[in-house]
Structure 1
Amino acid sequence: MECAGKGSGTRCLGPARKRCGRCGAVSYCSASHQISHWKVHREECERLEQQMRNLDLLNDFPFTFSQESTVQISEKQESRCSFLRKRGIHQVGLWVCECRCGASVTSFGNSRLESDTWNLSNILCPCRGPSSPIAKALCSWKDYYEWRCIPLQSPVSLLLHWPLTVYHSIQLAGLGSLTSEISKLCIHYLGPEKELLQLAVFGELRALFPGVFVQIELIGPAVPHHRDGDKIDLHSYAHCIEQDCDCRYKNENTSCSIGHTSSAVTLQLHRGYYHERFLDISKVCFSFTFFLSL
């Protein structure tokens, strides 16, 4: 963890090992940096303290991955590369960072437009809107797969755990029952890394929060300098590989485009650390704001 007071004046004296005694969410290299940074940190300390109290609860997510679709990997019967290769998605598009060799040959800094294709048939991925609204809160991958009419052996949970974690966090925060009453939900998403190459999967939030405009502020040092401030509107879902599927016509040139303003899900990229960018982000983020660190 980096010193929260870095860049506020004097140079850091060493590792950030001195945590805030109240919230425990930020650390400092020295008492002097903690004192000098208090005028900034005090604005968010109470909020962070409340979130840290629920840390154990928030770490217990049911949407990390689907054991049904990755049982061979879970039981060490095959490698992640082999798992992806058998399905034709090894080092391809959205899946390029899902194995060690893929992560070593790509970087978000070299990519301007991210892939918006699952590289799967339409029976294996959620390329279109749901056939019915959510009847109850989703509590497991089985619930989700049944609702979206996807077979349990589909590997999409490897990527969909990002939006499903957002969904589950909001349910835990007690906002799930309020989504029918609000028109906009703003989420501060801290520390994105490989998901920066998988932005199209966040389009699934359109199905999870129907009728709600979702704005996600992704903040972290992994965002390249040239992408700082980029705004990405997800007008629909990542599409499948079937040439005659409805999703291809609806999604063509719109699924992960930059510069539009009329989508249901908008992502904004911010390079840096949250304590450095919080004031700028808070000026434009309103309505229900939710803080999420992954």
Structure 2
Amino acid sequence: MVYGPFMELEDLTSLFEKAHFIRAFEGALAAAADAGEVPGLVHLSNGAEILELAVASALDPKKDQVTGSHRSHGIALSLGVDPQALACEILGREGGLSRGLGGTQHLIAPESGFLGSNGIVGGQVPLALGAALSAKTLETGGIAVSYFGDGAANQGAVMESLNLAVVLKLPILFVCENNGFGQSTASSYSAGGTSLLGRARAFGLAADHVDGTDPVESAKTAERLVSWVRTSGSPAFLEASVPRLSGHYHGDEEKYRAADSQAADPLQRLEAMILNRDVPSGLVEDMKHRAHERACAVIDKAIAAPDVSDTALDAYIKEAQS
């Protein structure tokens, strides 16, 4: 990407289309969940698209490995995971990333640098340490990246991972997506010390904060920290402020939110940046329409695929035993 004081229009429009595809993909997925087509709860990444795309743009999928939480559809798509295989996996359909065995919370696509997502709060963070240790030991030049939310920041394994990364000098970037909530509990209520940067620095980590709704600053900060981890071989911590525009899961009534609270949408901020340029009339709406049509086509095709959610495990066991 080209930064300067601003991104080039080409970079902005590319980011806009990718972000809107992720948003549209999850919107179509939510509709499929409402129709009873998705096994289990669906956790949407609405609000984090810009930040996740910014981090992904700084990575090398051939060398770097990423882990994510239960909220990882956007992370997977930002890394270039095949949307059709992703949709089939989430819906428990034939053709999924793991033949429908993993579902929405246990996604994996190593060919795209996605080591996996995890349904255990904070469970993905120590897994990324293994990837970082492998990269260091094998001298691959790769790094590990682990996403987790502020709700996982108090989890013991997460704090142990921060400490161990410094002790062993591992090439890993910890990305804390701080949306102010751990499920339905405000961070200000659940944490004795709310400065996550202060906590990271206390372990000896290089740490920085970024407004995850700002495309330019997100891309610049992500590229700088990824480059520093790669060249120094040392860990770093990025706290990104991102809104959670939907509930903890799709269908969450969100009674814990104030009735008048409404976070700003990063995609609207990006749209305003594009419209502030000299762009052809209808460009933005055309990009939105293409993203929506493509996403709906992907989800519709996944719904039409054979449902293996009840049989995939039995088939896998029989195959393993043979």
Normalising by structure 1, report the TM-score. 0.30
Q: Which has the higher contact order (CA 8 A, sep 6+)?
A: 2
Which one has the bigger helix percentage?
Answer: 2
